[in-house]
Amino acid sequence: MFKKIKYLGIILLLGVFFLIFRQSTVEAVDQSRTEEFFAGAFPAQVTSATSTDFIIYIGNSLNGVTDPVKSAYFLVSGVYTGAGSLELKIDDDAATAKTFDLPSVTSATAFEFLYKDDSGKINPTSAGEYAYTLNFNPSGVTISGLSARVEITYRFAEVACPDGTADNEKTKHQDFFVTAFTQQVSAATSAPFIFYIGDNLAGVTSTIKSLYFKVSGVYTGAGSLELKIDDDAATAKTFDLPSVTSATAFEFLYRDDSGKINPASAGEYAYTLNFNPSGVVISGLSAKLSETHRYKPPACGGAYPAFGDLTSAVFDTTGEAGGPAYNSIMWQGTLGNGTEGKVNFRLATSDSESGPWADSDFYGGSTCASGDWFTAGPDTPIELGCFTRFNNKRYFKYKIRVCSSADCATMGSFTPQINEVVVSWSP
């Protein structure tokens, strides 16, 4: 015989369950964000004209946005000796040139200043990568640890869903604490740290758009500071620290050009930053990691959770002590948008109305295991099998998992709708 169990309530219940997780699909009209990118760092001393190539990346849609760049400037830092100036240009364009005076000093002196090109050389009009060259021309000075990073704040087009479509919201900037030594450092030491990516990187090529360490402290002596990641010689860079007669502050940017830190999926990544000072004593040695990465946002409208679970009431099959043989289970309804999503079942049976009905008592799939599921499309009976688990037990409950995506792991744009559940059993 057939026991037909109408389950009309699940449509409303799951609808409410999913709608709790829906978010607004409208954002503010004016949207802006600030991105930071590594521009360059010179471990060796700089005394003459040199340059560094760098890339900025715009991941947002700029369609229909006039005057998108609201601020673009460079933070330039280092330690210098002598008296003179430092000229900066972009792409060796005279229209972008600015010259900063550096007054005469009797010992190495740290500096940091902001350089902005008023000609608007950096002015992207659409999403994508943009390559530039930053030119340095010191005169009368010797600069150690010359470093630069660029910060750009831009306005972008509003998006149709919270995280954007494939053309929007693809970059994120993050800072991580690496270390700070309270004691003076004069010999090789290291600092373990964790780097975390929480975004979906599946299908994203060239994930990391900018990644560097900002290293700072106060030193005495004359020598250098070598930096490495995971004690890997391929990542090593040595920064000169000129002789000083009194404690002198420094700050420089260290980037590993070998790409040691290059995650391909979300998760935690453990690394060690190695410090090896030579000829100098450093107080307050500190480091932080700054990175900008591209990620894959969920599909627009994909506001449904990956899955929702619901457990049925207890059903009495025979009304007497001997239980039936359980044949199949079937659901009637539709998959999301006609084809999307999945519906899974597990079954539990018992000689008693009170169970046990723990999660571990529900079984499914070809393995008849508590962690497995029966799966089928609508109007397709699923043979239960698992006879030793189910048969000859009077009472049963089922657990249903409704997934908005086929893998039951990622958020989907549509949800299946279940109208009825039909269980077939024989006395």
Q: Using the 8-state DSSP alphabet, how is residue 412 labeled?
A: B
pLDDT of residue 29: 39
Structure-model confidence comparison of residues 265 and 15, the more confident one:
265
pLDDT of residue 22: 32
Tens digits of residue pLDDT in 195-222: 998 888 888 888 899 999 999 999 999 9
CA distance linking residue 118 with residue 130, whole number of Å? 18
Computed over its alpha carbons, how large is the radius of gyration of the chain? 31
Residue 73 has pLDDT above 70, yes or no: yes
- Here the tokens at position 103 are 């007054």
- For the ranges 126-135, 159-168, 186-195, the lowest mean pLDDT is seen at 159-168
Structure-model confidence comparison of residues 59 and 260, the more confident one:
260
Q: Where in the chain is the domain with CATH 2.60.120?
A: 2-22+303-426
3-state secondary structure of 384: coil
Q: Over pLDDT 70: what percentage of the chain?
A: 89
* Topology, domain 2-22+303-426: Jelly Rolls (2.60.120)
CA distance linking residue 200 with residue 195, whole number of Å? 15
Residue 229 has pLDDT above 80, yes or no: yes
pLDDT of residue 298: 64
Residue 289 has pLDDT above 90, yes or no: yes
pLDDT of residue 59: 84
Contacts of 258 (CB under 8 A, 6+ apart): 232, 234, 235
Residue 303: which pLDDT band, with cuts at 50, 70 and 90? low
pLDDT of residue 15: 32
Residue 248 bridge partners (DSSP)? 219
Q: Determine the residue type at 213.
A: F
Q: How many CA atoms lie within 13 A of 207 on its CB side?
A: 20
Tens digits of residue pLDDT in 337-388: 778 889 999 999 999 999 899 989 999 998 999 889 999 899 999 998 888 8
pLDDT of residue 413: 74
Residue 2 has pLDDT above 70, yes or no: no
What's the mean pLDDT when you consider all of the chain? 86
Residue 156: which pLDDT band, with cuts at 50, 70 and 90? confident
Cβ atoms of 396 and 347 within 8 Å: the answer is yes
Residue 295 has pLDDT above 90, yes or no: no
Residue 12 has pLDDT above 80, yes or no: no
- List the one residue out of 195, 197, 133, 149 whose CA is nearest residue 171: 197
What is the torsional sign of CA 355, 356, 357, 362? Answer: negative
Q: Over pLDDT 90: what percentage of the chain?
A: 56
Residue 106: which pLDDT band, with cuts at 50, 70 and 90? confident
